[in-house]
């Protein structure tokens, strides 16, 4: 049987069939506390692809950290072919402060590929690109909605990338949506360097969400199975077909006031569906939020107090009317927790 060679990262050699957490120096805080980019390397005995999985590029998007934790305890990794580079927390500054951005008030996901002589965000982006992203052939970047919003588990794809579309279908999230690359984003920098990246969205900022955690965990394993990195045993099959959506848009508050939602994430809606209502505190004025196209609720605000123009419902356009949240729930119930009983 052919075996892989040691995997080298940041001056450390990881032997085939072993795993190790490698701390890559990033900076030092003003009180002399070191800041590292911590990468857990799982290096298989057999050769295969190198894949990275990253989370918390936005420091308040903690659901990805939980997904990576479960992934690293999953049984299928026992027979890994290739190498997994798992980075549960990219933006440790924001993570420790329950904040989306870095202390220099920059969005890390608008600073790629970064540079060694730039801002704090630029330097962190540069280290992550050089030490992790450019070492891989494919990556999965985990995100959630911002605080006070919740996202249905979904995959965002680069339009026209057939390989990513195949990996997205293998992931098996309830919804898959084409999403244009944004300047300075990890996806744009990685794809310009020849590394395909799937973007996963699910759950809410600063909150754990079991649906999002299980969907993300199972999806990563399905992609790894498709790439030949893990065997089929222990990898759950998708119980519902992924719905491909052509576009999406936000429906906003028509007035300021108290918001009542009538629809949940995952609900299928039609043109003229009443999504919710906004009323004043006295109940004298009520304005309905009405959908004007068929689609799926893939995101929603959780805030009861809203301003005029505030984003309330994110609707993905689709002609597939049979999609329903109960199918997503059934799939989650069929998937294991991937927790302590799956320890390597």
User: Cβ-count burial of 259 within 10 angstroms (0-12 exposed, 13-18 middle, 19+ buried)?
Assistant: buried
Average pLDDT over residues 41-45: 97
> What are the residue ranges of CATH 3.40.630.10 in the chain?
7-243
pLDDT for position 337: 53
DSSP states of 205-266: TT---HHHHHHHHHHHHHHHHHTTSS-STT-PPPSSPPEEES-EEEEE-SSSEEEEE---TT
Coil/strand/helix, residue 303: coil
pTM, 2 dp: 0.94
Compute the average pLDDT of residues 154-176.
Answer: 95
CA-wise closest residue to 160 among 140, 141, 180: 180
pLDDT at 215 over 50: yes
Residues of the chain with CATH 2.40.50.100: 247-317
Give the Cβ contact number of residue 270 at 10 Å. Answer: 11
- What average pLDDT score do residues 87-105 get? 96
How far apart, in whole angstroms, are the C-alpha atoms of residue 129 and residue 192?
12
Give me the sheet containing 274-279, strands edge to edge.
286-290, 274-279, 257-261, 305-306
Mean pLDDT value across the chain: 93
pLDDT band per the 50, 70, 90 thresholds, residue 239: confident
> For residue 336, with 0-12 CB atoms within 10 Å meaning exposed, 13-18 middle and 19 or more buried, which class applies?
middle
CATH topology for 7-243 is Aminopeptidase (3.40.630)
Contact 205, 212 (CB under 8 A): no
Mean pLDDT of 183-210: 97
What is the distance between the alpha carbons of residues 279 and 217, in angstroms, rounded to a whole number? Answer: 39
Among 37, 153, 19, smallest CA distance to 74 is for 19
* Torsion angles phi and psi, residue 215, rounded to 5: -65, -45
Rounded Cα distance between 137 and 98, Å, is 31
- Reported as half-sphere exposure (CB side, CA atoms, 13 A), residue 175 has a value of 35
pLDDT band at 252 (very low <50, low <70, confident <90, very high): very high
Residue 332: the pLDDT is 54
* 268-269/274-279 β-pairing: unpaired
Distances (CA, A) of 119 to 104, 110, 149, 271: 8, 12, 29, 47
Residues forming a β-bridge with 27 = 35
Q: List the CATH code of the domain at 247-317.
A: 2.40.50.100
pLDDT 10s digits, 80-90: 999 999 999 99
């Amino acid at each position: 049987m052919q075996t892989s060679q040691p995997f080298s990262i940041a001056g450390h050699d990881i032997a085939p069939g072993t795993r190790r957490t490698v701390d890559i120096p990033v900076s030092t805080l003003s009180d002399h506390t070191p800041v590292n980019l911590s990468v857990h390397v799982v290096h298989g005995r057999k050769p295969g692809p190198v894949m990275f999985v990253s989370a918390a590029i936005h420091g308040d998007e903690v659901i990805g950290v939980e997904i990576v934790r479960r992934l690293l305890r999953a049984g299928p990794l026992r027979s890994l072919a290739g190498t997994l580079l798992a980075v549960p927390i990219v933006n440790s500054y924001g993570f420790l402060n329950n904040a989306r951005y870095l202390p220099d008030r920059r969005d890390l996901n608008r600073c790629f590929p970064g540079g060694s002589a730039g801002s704090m965000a630029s330097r962190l982006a540069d280290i992550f690109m050089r030490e992790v992203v450019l070492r891989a052939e494919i990556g999965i970047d985990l995100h959630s909605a911002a605080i006070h919003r919740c996202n249905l588990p979904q995959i965002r794809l680069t339009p026209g990338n057939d390989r990513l579309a195949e990996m997205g279908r293998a992931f098996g999230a309830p919804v898959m949506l084409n999403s244009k690359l944004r300047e300075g984003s990890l996806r744009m920098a990685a794809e310009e360097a020849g590394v395909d990246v799937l973007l996963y969205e699910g759950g809410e900022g600063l909150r754990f969400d079991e649906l999002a955690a299980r969907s993300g965990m199972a999806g990563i394993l399905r992609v790894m199975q498709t790439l030949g990195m893990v065997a089929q045993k222990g990898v759950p099959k998708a119980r519902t077909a992924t719905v491909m959506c052509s576009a999406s848009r936000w429906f906003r508050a028509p007035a300021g006031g108290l918001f009542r939602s009538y629809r949940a994430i995952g609900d299928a809606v039609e043109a003229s569906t009443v999504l919710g209502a906004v009323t004043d505190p006295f109940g004298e004025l009520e304005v309905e939020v009405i959908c004007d196209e068929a689609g799926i609720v893939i995101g929603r605000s959780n805030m009861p107090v809203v301003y005029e123009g505030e984003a309330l419902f994110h609707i993905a356009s689709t002609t597939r009317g049979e999609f329903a949240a109960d199918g997503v729930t059934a799939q989650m119930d069929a998937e294991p927790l991937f927790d302590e009983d799956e320890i390597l």
